[in-house]
Homo-oligomer: A and B are copies of this chain.
Amino acid sequence: MQGNGGLDRFFRAESVAIIGASRGSGKAGNVVLENILANGYRDRVYPVNPQAEEILGLRCYQTLGGVPEVPDLAILAVPASGAMAAIQECIEKGVKAAVVTTSGFAELDGQGADLQLEMVRMASNAGLRIMGPNTSGITSMPNSLVASIFPLGRLKKGPVSVISQTGNFATHTMRWMSTGEHFGICRFAGLGNKVDVDEAELLDYFGDDPETKAIAMYLEGFKNGRRFMEVARRVSQTKPLVALKSGRTASGVRAVASHTASLASNDAIVDAALRQAGVVRVDSYAGLIDVMKLLSFQPLPRGNRVAVLTPSGAMGIVAADACERLGLRIGELSDRAFQELSALFPDYVNVGNPIDVWGAALVHGVYEAYERAMRAALEDDGIDTVLSIITLAPKSVLNPQELDPEKLSFIPELSQQYPQKVVMVAVSGDKDYCEGAKIYLEEHSIPVYLPVEPGLEALAWANQCRQFMVAS
């Protein structure tokens, strides 16, 4: 295993040792193994624990030295007191990549800072690359490796890779993403105290990674800001880069200092530098998840022209306001689209964009009206994105019927027929119906937002990403 500064050993590891593997449910050294097993990692796993013979059905080794090969990657799930000895063991075995989940270093106190300096000195002399310490781990879905100390469950593979300052941030978030937003990731790294591998190197690596189509980042500071911006300038020409950079405000800066010991920078300078480097800055935690979902499921919009299908005038107005505020615009319909829509509606309806589907639904039924209006908008060269706002509720209060999500199958079908267009959905109405539709549509790669604005914010960020890209 060669090249790429050794990061292949982290993300394409064919053998993994877990130092500090544990039989105790909920312990870091147990959860790592559970995650690995739950996600069906197909290569070789070596739990290391001097007191155990078997953990979760896997043969356990008393020492790393006893493992029958030099593993590509070691995951350290040991307490702080044992971390330096474990690093020494890795060096003696000839291991070249280690994820150090252990905390209690620079983020804690001066003594910890000294200790991590010593760790990186030992490691770099031996050619051992380190991720962390104080990280929750890494994930690499192309080879089904989920090496995290947080219980993540079974993840899906997606096209977006993630670089996160802090593992903790990306753990519960990733669990939310996979269970609540139904999208997976490509590769993930929690940087932690980044004594060795940093955000610039990772960005470079993911930039060249053929499996990674877009990169999302949560950052609190930069280890080498100049280098990061150089790499970003290159990568943003071919892949969308979105980032939540926290520690924007005085309160945030104080909180950063006691978290990952990062030095926060003047936010206005960071802001300008990110923009110049082609990194689209997202302004909220929720927004980062929303745009990741859009990038995971849909192509980048080719422009900012949106068609909005709405069941209610009010929602159309709200969507139109949001589009304009966000730098998108309500696209002008072509004559052909206008004619097709007019044929769909009773004579008395004034057809326009936003397209108030209600009139057509009264004539043709809701599903046919939406399908035909969507098709007309997707067919229109002047439209880049079709947002369908759908109200979902039972027709009757006293005799509610279950929603049949299959009735929405025309949406993913149309999306496949127009792969260069962005198709997105916003839902409102009955909770169970909305959730049912969201699960069905997101399992078919249509991003769903509740209610309308968050989806348009995500779209606006995706559209900014496109503007940095060099036409291929």
Contact = CB atoms under 8 A, between A and B. Distances in A.
A317 B247 contact: yes
Contact of A453 (B154, B285, B393, B434): B285
Given A252-B320, A284-B453, A325-B249, A169 B396 contact: no
A312 B167 CA distance: 9
Contact of A317 (B104, B256, B320, B321): B256
Contacts of A249: 320-321, 323-325
B251 A324 contact: yes
Interface string A141-179: 000000000111110000000000110110111011001
Nearest to A173: B428
Count of identical protomers in the assembly: 2
A85 interface: no
A341 to B, nearest CB: 14
A348 B80 CA distance: 13
A260 B452 CA distance: 20
A322 interface: yes
Interface stretch (A31-39, A197-205, A378-386): A31-39
Nearest to A308: B255
A14 B350 CA distance: 40
Interface of A: 25-26, 30-31, 34-35, 37-38, 56, 104, 107-109, 150-154, 165-166, 168-169, 171-173, 175-176, 179-180, 218, 220, 244, 246-252, 254-256, 258-260, 284-286, 289, 311-318, 320-325, 329-330, 348, 350, 352, 354, 356, 358, 391-400, 428-432, 434, 450-454
